[in-house]
Amino acid sequence: MAKKLNVIDLVELQYIDNALSARSSELERLKNNPEVEDTSKKLQEKKTKYKEKGDWYHEIDVRRKKLEDNVDTNEEKIKSNEKKLFSGAITSSRELKSYQEEIDMLKKSNNNTEEKILELMEEQEAAESGIEALKNEIEALESDIKRINNEIEEKMEGIRHNIEGLRRRREDVIVRIPPENLKEYNIIRTKKAGIAVSVIKDSFCSTCNMEIPLVETEKFVDSDTLYTCPMCGRLAVLYQPEIDRIKKELES
């Protein structure tokens, strides 16, 4: 026996397909979440700054250590000169004077170098808190991204579950619809931006929002009959409260 069309089934199929495409769009939106993109961009910027500051800090460290080595070398020279001076082995006053002059010069040079070392240490100290702050910011951004991704994954999981349910429901509805109606539904749906079935309520088409001329609405009397909207050409079903129930179910 050929199946008889229950027009409500076509309306239900349309609402299921609407819900399915809405869920797919939600999934797409979640996949390309701008918050994740923004936060990742910020994180990258902070990481670059952190690396730059770290490199600079290290560079100063190298410079400072080199200066400290210079001071040490000079100290040794000073000590060995003083040893010679006080050993009594040198008697020439010219020679004594030259040793003393060298000691003075080395001491002066060390004083200058130590000042420079102090300046570098101050620079490093000032940079340390900035570097520490950047490190904390990086950690916070990383944990933000992790949290957002977890939230997104949770939402996506819920939507995927919802889609599975909708697909099962779609299968159930499809078997109740006669093949020729299903074929027509698919053809119109492709042509008319995904909406093949419209509901006529108070002489208005719920999809094209046009008022249907009186001469046409007079023909729309039977809630079991499948009509065509004279304004947009979609399949049309007269409104009945059952439709609201189905719509509400699918929206939740």
Under DSSP, is residue 197 helix (H, G, I), strand (E, B) or coil? strand
Q: Which amino acid is at 160?
A: R
Min dist CB 147 to Zn ion, Å, is 46
| 229: contact with Zn ion by CB under 5 A | yes
Both tokens assigned to 53: 């500051």
H or E element in which residue 228 lies? strand 227-228
| 173: contact with Zn ion by CB under 5 A | no
How remote is the C-alpha of 100 from its chain's centroid?
70
CB-wise, 28 or 202, nearer to Zn ion?
202
Burial class of residue 142 in the structure, from the number of CB atoms within 10 Å of its CB (0-12 exposed, 13-18 middle, 19+ buried): middle
CB-wise, 67 or 200, nearer to Zn ion?
200
| 196: contact with Zn ion by CB under 5 A | no
Min dist CB 217 to Zn ion, Å, is 12
| 231: contact with Zn ion by CB under 5 A | yes
Min dist CB 140 to Zn ion, Å, is 53
CB-wise, 166 or 205, nearer to Zn ion?
205
- Number of chain residues interacting with Zn ion (CB under 5 A): 5
d(CA 166, CA 26): 15
Q: Which amino acid is at 126?
A: A
The H-assigned helical ranges of the chain are 7-31, 34-87, 93-176, 179-191, 214-217, 241-251
Min dist CB 44 to Zn ion, Å, is 50
Select the span of 87-95, 130-138, 184-192, 229-237 touching Zn ion (CB under 5 A): 229-237
CB-wise, 162 or 206, nearer to Zn ion?
206
**Nearest 5°: CA angle at 31, between 28 and 149?**
150
Min dist CB 230 to Zn ion, Å, is 8
Among 205, 235, 237, 238, contact with Zn ion (rule: CB under 5 A):
205
| 232: contact with Zn ion by CB under 5 A | yes
| 226: contact with Zn ion by CB under 5 A | no
| 212: contact with Zn ion by CB under 5 A | no
**Nearest to Zn ion by Cβ — which residue?**
205
Q: Which phi and psi (to 5°) does residue 228 adopt? A: -125, 135
Min dist CB 47 to Zn ion, Å, is 55
Among 249, 252, 219, 243, CA closest to 10: 243
What residues line the site for Zn ion (CB under 5 A)? 205, 208, 229, 231-232
